[in-house]
């Protein structure tokens, strides 16, 4: 298949592009600047989602679209940055959906990213159809997903993956905390009791492809593994896998707020997402728990 990826140069997007190519597909990455690739399986196309502009001709020559585009949430949450977090997600999705609604297309499926922050911060296990929260990230996710729901082309199937904490040593959370753990300074954050729903990056890539290849896959999915851990237990497991100590007291919440500002609220929030929908459709995890994922990533 020929697959368009928006956000294909990011942490997840880059690995997803390589994964799709390894599985025999071709990739076109939507980019804000003119780029080229030495790999004949990768092409680039300029788009300007702020202006709702993309090459509509791509819709006739490709089979699927994956949208991962959005400003990273790990910056300092100033008022302007929070606006950019939401606007970048809404406008990228709106650009794609508008194009699919307005043109004849060969596209069969749109798989759009969302995030585990869709839900309230609590210890409950959340299913796909549970109500959203009312905090900042939840409002972003609702606005983001609402753009997908505006897809009116009956020939295009749509799905949403609410992505949890993605585990890979090249980026994301592990790249940030690994140096701290190596120094023997591993500890829980805040009270350490908040749940973390995580997923190995390889399994997340497999989920995107699974949805594209299976016509029964529609609606919302949770991009998480089968087991959630509390933050303190996750950090303890990471320290054990890295063969480092875990004995320090937790990092107090006020320290995180001093360092991260409003972004600390995300680190301290608790999200426990169900993955049962994957089993009903036949998806098999390679790394069903955080421990299995971490053991794979740190086996060397």
Give all domains of the chain, ordered by start, each with its CATH number. Answer: 2-167+199-225+273-287 (3.40.50.720)
What is the torsional sign of CA 76, 15, 222, 100? positive
Q: What pLDDT is recorded for position 141? A: 98
Stretch 47-53: mean pLDDT: 97
pLDDT band, residue 185 (cuts 50/70/90): confident
- CB of 110 closer than 8 Å to CB of 94: no
Task: Give me the helices (H) in the chain, please.
Answer: 11-22, 58-61, 79-102, 136-148, 172-182, 201-213, 231-241, 253-260, 264-268, 276-281, 290-297
The string of pLDDT tens digits covering residues 90-128 is 999 999 999 999 989 999 999 999 999 999 999 999 999
pLDDT digits (tens, 9 = 90+) for 222-264: 999 999 999 999 999 999 999 999 987 888 887 777 766 766 6
Q: What pLDDT sits at residue 263?
A: 60
pTM summary value: 0.95
Q: Quick check: 150 and 101 in contact, CB under 8 A?
A: yes
Q: How far apart are the first and last CA of the chain?
A: 34
Around Cβ 281, how many Cβ atoms within 10 Å?
Answer: 12
């Amino acid at each position: 298949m020929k697959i368009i990826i928006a956000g294909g140069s990011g942490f997840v997007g880059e690995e997803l592009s390589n994964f799709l190519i390894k599985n025999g597909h071709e990739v076109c990455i939507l980019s804000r600047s003119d780029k080229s690739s030495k790999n004949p399986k990768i092409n680039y196309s300029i788009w300007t989602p702020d202006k709702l502009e993309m090459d509509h001709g791509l819709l006739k020559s490709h089979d699927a679209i994956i949208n991962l585009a959005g400003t990273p949430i790990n910056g300092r949450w100033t008022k302007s940055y929070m606006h950019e977090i939401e606007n970048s997600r809404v406008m990228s999705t709106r650009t794609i959906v508008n194009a699919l609604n307005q043109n004849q297309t060969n596209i069969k499926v749109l798989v759009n990213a969302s995030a585990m922050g869709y839900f309230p911060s609590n210890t409950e296990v959340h299913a796909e159809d549970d109500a959203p929260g009312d905090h900042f990230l939840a409002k972003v996710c609702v606005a983001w997903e609402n753009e997908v729901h505006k897809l009116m082309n009956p020939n295009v199937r749509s799905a949403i993956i609410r992505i949890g904490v993605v585990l890979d040593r090249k980026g994301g959370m592990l790249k940030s905390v690994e140096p701290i753990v190596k120094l023997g300074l591993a500890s829980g954050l805040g009270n350490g009791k908040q749940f973390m729903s995580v997923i190995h990056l390889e399994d997340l890539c497999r989920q995107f492809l699974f949805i594209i290849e299976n016509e029964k896959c529609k609606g919302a999915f949770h991009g998480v593994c089968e087991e959630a851990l509390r933050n303190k237990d996750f950090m303890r497991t990471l320290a054990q896998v890295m063969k480092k100590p875990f004995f320090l007291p937790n990092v107090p919440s006020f320290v995180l707020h001093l360092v991260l500002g409003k972004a600390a609220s995300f680190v301290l929030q608790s999200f426990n997402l169900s993955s049962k929908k994957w089993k009903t459709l036949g998806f098999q995890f390679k790394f069903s728990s955080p421990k299995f994922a971490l053991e794979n990533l740190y086996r060397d």
